[in-house]
A and B are shown apart, each in its own frame.
Chain A
Amino acid sequence: MLQVDSVSFGYRADRPVLGDVTFAVEPGSLVGILGPNGSGKTTLLKVLAGAIAPSTGTVRIDGRRLSEWPRREIARRVAFVPQDTHPPFDFSVLEIVLMGRYPHLGTFALEGPADLAIARQALASTGTSAFESRPFTTLSGGERQRVVIAGALAQSPQWLLLDEPTGSLDIGHQLEIQELLRRLNRDHAVTMVLSTHDLNFAAALCRDLILLQNGRIIAQGPTADVLRPDTVRMLYGVEADIRPHPRAGHLTVTPIARVR
């Protein structure tokens, strides 16, 4: 159980990025965070990952406050996939994925056969085994994203946080990532919280949604209840047609016009 209680945060005291955010995520969930640019989605994910500490409020995992945990111990339970990864050096794909083992190893410990097996398993479950020894920088955007997700899986986390996992991908790769995340959630019992701009991606994948505006939650709950024309208008100032798609089997959102 992940519990967030009245969390506030600001990089500067006079400009809060998150204000009084409260929600809970059950194990096994697949939760999407929606909100316009600058609404605090990325910051919220970083707070959940323990990468930044909230100014006030608490984040608890299984009842224990994140602030009481050593960094490595958090990383053994919670993994974070950033929006984009641009290493300045030519790491191989396997090297990138093996870095996920960091929280499980001591300062001078080297990865053993067990760590290598876990990394290869992560490569296999993201369909990237074939790239193992290729330089990471030579991969396409979609391939890179899958490798970074493999690296997060190598942390053996129960919680996976993803910041705009399909941000810069074409629709083919978007669907690929969507299927991958659905499968990881279903077959590997990985609980997921992800942020996205793509309402249709969220509608297709996420069972629950959190709508964030100016760092505050304006609605949360099951996707079918929360994704409505009035909430979309409130968030983005857009008149949208929202209806179930007969073949896709989920809600689809068609933006119609900009309203003020």
Chain B
Amino acid sequence: MRSIRARLVATICGFGVLLLAALVIAPVVGSTSISLARAFDRSTPFADNPDAQIFFVARLPRVLAAALVGSLLAVAGVVLQALLRNPLATPDTLGVSSGAALGAMIAITFHLDVSVAGVSSIPLASFLGSILALSVVYALSSARRRGLSTMVLLLGGVTMQSFFSAVILFLQYLADFTETGRTLRWLMGTLDVGSYAPIVAVLPVVVVAFGIVSTLSRPLDLISLGADAAAARGVDVLRSERLALISASLCTAAAVALAGPVGFIGLVVPHLVRLVVGSDHRLVLPASALFGAAFLIACDLVARTAFSPLELPVGIVTALIGGPFFLWLLLRAAR
């Protein structure tokens, strides 16, 4: 077997090139065809260059939002799967996304447009929602030290999802009728951010979350073998588990605040990545971050172009791919 250093370099280069290709190709494709060469042509002023305007103003923010959201949800999935020692744990199946969505809905519905320390209220509210949901799941799983059975974990997640959905529906029922359409679209998961501003708003959260996750790759490997075994290998288990909990909540919250609850990314991406790079989290984490970004860009490309000029919310596309994928994993695990 090649050394971990060589595998890490190969992983980052391979998936990095894939993401770069997605980032360049996706904004070129759309209802109006544009030329990449003309979009990057610096000799024409920006105001007189429609190709550059479509590329940088109309399409690139949406593509960047897709990259960020895909990356965040994939990483959250990897962290949760290791933390709960269960490959079917994801922000969606555990109800963490719904918690984040409820938090964001409360902030949107009641117009809580304040910002705390440069972070606007919507990501903040969605972080509170996601950490609440995740704390419940974590409390359930630490009540029985050996980790939860898949059944209990998924049932707990389903219960939490329906509960949060009910509260979200209640909020919608109360809310102004003209706003229902907007929030409904957001709840389906949509990347139509409109400008760079919402992306910039969640960037601080992303930096903190990814910063924490980068220190956790080896502890997550060891924790996935069992808490006692990890402790005996020198891992500060309690500290690592708390950091994992917080960073997974932050990732989910930032993604949901930006795009609503886009489903199944945290499930599909880590599983596909493990087929290529194996299970070492030092490879799985960066690979999932890069591939998650490329994957959601591709899904959004389908959402934008499949029924052109109609643009679907990307959440519909990921659910259509993710639902059958999840059933296939369940079938495989049952064997």
Contact = CB atoms under 8 A, between A and B. Distances in A.
Interface of A: 46, 49-52, 71-76, 78-80, 82, 85-92, 94-96, 98-100, 102-103, 105, 107-108, 110-113, 116, 132-133, 155, 161
Contacts of A100: 233
B231 interface: yes
A16 B225 CA distance: 27
A71 B5 contact: no
Given A74-B234, A102-B235, A87 B228 contact: no
Interface string B67-106: 0000000000000011001110000000000000000000
Interface string B228-239: 110111111000
Interface of B: 1, 3-5, 8, 81-82, 85-87, 214-215, 218, 221-222, 224-226, 228-229, 231-236, 274, 278-280, 282
A49 B232 contact: yes
Contacts of A72: 234
Contacts of A80: 228-229, 232
Contact of B222 (A50, A99, A107): A99
Nearest to B229: A82
B226 A89 contact: no
A94 B221 CA distance: 13
B232 A75 contact: yes
A96 B233 CA distance: 12
Contacts of A73: 234
A88 B234 contact: no
Given A102-B222, A110-B5, A88 B81 contact: yes
B280 A91 contact: yes
A76 B234 CA distance: 8
Given A95-B278, A133-B1, A85 B228 contact: no
A114 B199 CA distance: 44
Nearest to B237: A51
A89 B232 contact: no
B332 to A, nearest CB: 12
Q: Which among B4, B8, B215 has the highest number of chain A CB atoms within 10 Å?
A: B4
B143 to A, nearest CB: 12
Contacts of A75: 232-234
A229 B249 CA distance: 58
A85 B5 CA distance: 27
Contacts of A85: 225-226, 229
B1 A91 contact: no
